[in-house]
Amino acid sequence: MLRAEGLNLSVPGKVLCRDLNIVIKPGECWGILGRNGSGKTTLLHALSGLRAPDAGLVSWDGKPLPDYPRRELARQIGVLPQDEGHEFWGTALEYVLLGRYPHSRGFGITDGDEEAALAALQQVGMADMAHRTLITLSGGERQRVRIAMLLAQAPQHYCLDEPLQHLDLGHQAEALRLLQRLAVEEGKAVLMVLHETLWAGRYCDHILMLYDEGRVLAGSAAELMTLKNLEELYRCGLREIETEVGSYFLPA
Amino acid sequence: MSRPFLLILFLILTPLSLLAGVAFGSVDLSLGEVMCALAGKEAGLATDIVWQLRLPRVASAFACGGSLALAGALLQALLRNPLADPYVLGISGGSAVAALVAMLFGLAAAAVNFAALGGALAAVGLVFALGFGRGGNMQRLLLTGVVLSAGFGALISLLLTLAPGAQVRGMLFWLMGDLSQAQAPGLAWGVLVAALALAWWQANSLDILGLGELKAKSLGVAVRPLQLGIYFTASAATAAVVVEAGAIGFVGLIVPHFVRLLGVSGHRWLLPLAVLAGGSFLTLADTLARTAIAPQQLPVGVLTALLGVPLLLFLLTRRT
């Protein structure tokens, strides 16, 4: 269980988040929404231990994140950052195997690691490309391999920064179903930065909305995903189109 | 090619290159004479040449080549930049300025080496302070190194202009890298073995560092201590070479890429294979440098580039 208490975050000249208190429980799927530069990524980093907050405390299972040994924390909380580019010359399978690092003891790769990596590639539909060199894959395929590395890491809490980037519509839906299954069936917690309100409304049960001046709305998706909230959030007039799979919000 | 096969291949090539380095030289010795001398059966000219001249030089060449390849692979991982080489952060520049100043004052070879070491350490410290200092990141480190290298380059040109004509040749040899003064391989070997052991121990973390700092941190790698460790390990390996043989170019840039182009990616294999390949490559290049127009010697740095450029270009085009 991830808990943030009195969390304050700022970057030079801007307060991103003021006195945020949230609890993310196993089985929940959270979406972070906000305008460009509103602090979505910074918040994700603070909640996953990649960045120290300006004030407040983030804890996992009652213990502050900085008190965890690094690898132990990496077994609890896994992160898919935005693509930083990479220097990697090996195959997709070798790439995914790096995700096993927090579980490795000593030096070698065990059969268990290889199985976990192959299973992860299978889950994102990339098993038949396991032995392709990573740099020969397309952007979307590479993004699925990046998600597979996070699956191979097998944390209890998944943090993903725009996991749908580079993915086509079908693979966007597949990736979100995969993450939802992790939460609902395996009791993992998922926290992700999203731009697509349709996906957020459909696959997230909780939403964090980052407004100006550090104001944050946090709560159930059903309550927060309203026309009024989203118009204010994106500072943009919207129209709501209801369908049987959820509400579309389109610029008016 | 599979990695174990490559390892066996390189383990066979290494003694062959060392043997070639001992067997060939400006004095013609038959293989039988060389073998007799190596066995130390009889005293004589051949034994002296092999034990006093060729073996120390071959040992130096191998250690220098291995160290440069190791330092190059490490800096490419640290800076996440395929163009990085052991000298990109200014070690050779700082070392060269100090060595050239010592030559300008007509100091003995030992003093020149000492100055070279001082210059290398000063450059390492300066780049560390400016690049890793408050809020430092790898991009700033790289730019700091490149800018300082450019400054050192200007100072080197100035020193070459000021130096009397008779000294310029020796200075150019030093700048291009030259093993003719290298007779004490002990230090270079010690540094190489220690650096390889340290780097190999962190091989998995080095792979993960290539994914980016955020991802590496989220996987449980202690990013900043690792970066500092790589920086100082690569610097020590490079400094040992520069003191031993001047700024031998190109080995540190191309050998890691050569090994990668053979299909090796993880650092656990890349590092030892690069050391073997770099050591063998420099040993062979130095053997050529001694024998091509014997008795005159060529600076080995010229040959590493002349041999390495076509080889790497061939591999690059074949690969894609």
Above 70 in pLDDT, residue B181?
yes
pLDDT over 70, % of chain B: 98
Across the interface, of B204, B212, B218, the residue whose CB is closest to A86 is B212
| Residues B88 and B121: beta-carbon distance below 8 Å | no
Q: Which of B206, B219, B257, B273 to mutate to test the interface with A (most CBs of A within 10 A)?
A: B219
| Mean pLDDT within A166-176 | 95
Residue B25: pLDDT band (50, 70, 90) is: confident
C-alpha B75/C-alpha B87 separation (Å) is 9
Above 80 in pLDDT, residue B1?
no
**Whole-Å CA distances, B244 to B55, B65, B117, B126:** 15, 11, 9, 22
Q: What is the pLDDT of residue A108?
A: 67
Question: Domain A2-85+156-251 is classified in which CATH homologous superfamily?
Answer: P-loop containing nucleotide triphosphate hydrolases (3.40.50.300)
CB contact under 8 A, B207 and A84: no
Least confident of A204-208, A235-239, B306-310: B306-310
Domain residue spans of chain A:
2-85+156-251
CATH number, domain with residue B68: 1.10.3470.10
C-alpha A251/C-alpha B243 separation (Å) is 67
Across the interface, of B76, B212, B220, the residue whose CB is closest to A85 is B212
Q: Which residues of B touch A48 (CB under 8 A)?
A: 218
Kindly report each contact of residues A50-53 with a partner whose C-beta sits within 8 Å and lies 24 or more positions away, as own/partner.
A50/A79, A50/A81, A50/B214, A50/B217, A50/B218, A53/A7, A53/A8, A53/A9
Q: What is the pLDDT of residue A228?
A: 94
Nearest CA in chain B to A92: B265
| Mean pLDDT within A68-94 | 90
C-alpha B232/C-alpha A143 separation (Å) is 34
Q: What is the pLDDT of residue A230?
A: 94
C-alpha A75/C-alpha A70 separation (Å) is 9
Least confident of B42-56, B201-215, B253-267, B271-285: B42-56
Nearest CA in chain A to B80: A87
Task: Tell me the nearest-neighbour CA distance from A35 into chain B, angstroms.
Answer: 22
Q: What is the pLDDT of residue A90?
A: 87
CB contact under 8 A, B212 and A84: yes
The reply to whether A76 touches chain B by the CB within 8 Å rule is: no
| Prediction pTM value | 0.90
Q: Running DSSP on this structure, what letter comes out for residue A225?
A: -
Q: Which residues fall within 8 angstroms of residue B152, CB to CB, at 6 or more apart?
A: B90, B93, B94, B96, B97, B123
| Mean pLDDT within B41-52 | 78
The per-residue pLDDT for range B135-155, each reduced to its tens digit, is 778 888 999 999 999 999 999
Q: Which residue has the higher pLDDT, A110 or A5?
A: A5
Q: Count CB atoms within 10 A of the CB of residue A177.
A: 11
C-alpha B171/C-alpha B221 separation (Å) is 44
CB contact under 8 A, A102 and B220: yes
Residue B44: pLDDT band (50, 70, 90) is: confident
Task: Tell me the nearest-neighbour CA distance from B314 into chain A, angstroms.
Answer: 18
Q: What is the number of structural domains in chain B?
A: 1
| Residues A25 and A191: beta-carbon distance below 8 Å | no
CB contact under 8 A, B218 and A48: yes
Element (H, E) at A20: strand A14-24
| Mean pLDDT within A125-154 | 95
Above 90 in pLDDT, residue A119?
yes
C-alpha B82/C-alpha B230 separation (Å) is 16
pLDDT over 90, % of chain A: 83
Q: Count CB atoms within 10 A of the CB of residue B67.
A: 34
Kindly report each contact of residues B142-148 with a partner whose C-beta sits within 8 Å and lies 24 or more positions away, as own/partner.
B142/B79, B142/B81, B142/B84, B142/B88, B142/B89, B144/B89, B145/B88, B145/B89, B145/B90, B146/B88, B146/B90, B148/B89, B148/B90, B148/B93, B148/B94, B148/B123
Angle at B232 between CA B87 and CA B7, to 5 degrees: 75
**Most confident segment among A28-32, B30-34, B182-186:** A28-32
Q: What is the pLDDT of residue A106?
A: 64
The reply to whether A77 touches chain B by the CB within 8 Å rule is: yes
The per-residue pLDDT for range A179-231, each reduced to its tens digit, is 999 999 999 999 999 998 889 999 999 999 999 888 999 999 999 999 999 99
Question: Structural domain of residue B11, as residue ranges?
Answer: 3-319
The per-residue pLDDT for range B106-146, each reduced to its tens digit, is 888 888 888 999 999 999 999 989 888 777 788 889 999 99
Q: What is the pLDDT of residue A159?
A: 97
| A contact residues 126-165, partner B, Cβ 8 Å cutoff | 153
Give the A:B interface size as CB pairs under 8 Å: 73
**Whole-Å CA distances, B105 to B45, B46, B130, B163:** 36, 37, 30, 9
Of the candidates A188, A187, A204, A201, the one whose C-alpha atom is nearest the C-alpha of residue A229 is A201
Kindly report each contact of residues B261-266 with a partner whose C-beta sits within 8 Å and lies 24 or more positions away, as own/partner.
B261/B312, B261/B315, B261/B316, B261/B319, B262/B1, B262/B6, B262/B315, B263/B1, B263/B3, B263/B6, B264/B3, B264/B6, B265/A88, B265/A89, B265/A90, B265/A91, B265/A94, B266/A90, B266/A94, B266/B203, B266/B207
Q: Which residues fall within 8 angstroms of residue B139, CB to CB, at 6 or more apart?
A: none
pLDDT over 70, % of chain A: 98
The reply to whether A98 touches chain B by the CB within 8 Å rule is: yes
C-alpha A243/C-alpha B160 separation (Å) is 78
Q: What is the pLDDT of residue B41?
A: 67
Q: What is the pLDDT of residue A107?
A: 63
| Mean pLDDT within B221-241 | 93
Across the interface, of B76, B81, B219, the residue whose CB is closest to A102 is B219
C-alpha B317/C-alpha B141 separation (Å) is 32
Above 60 in pLDDT, residue B320?
no
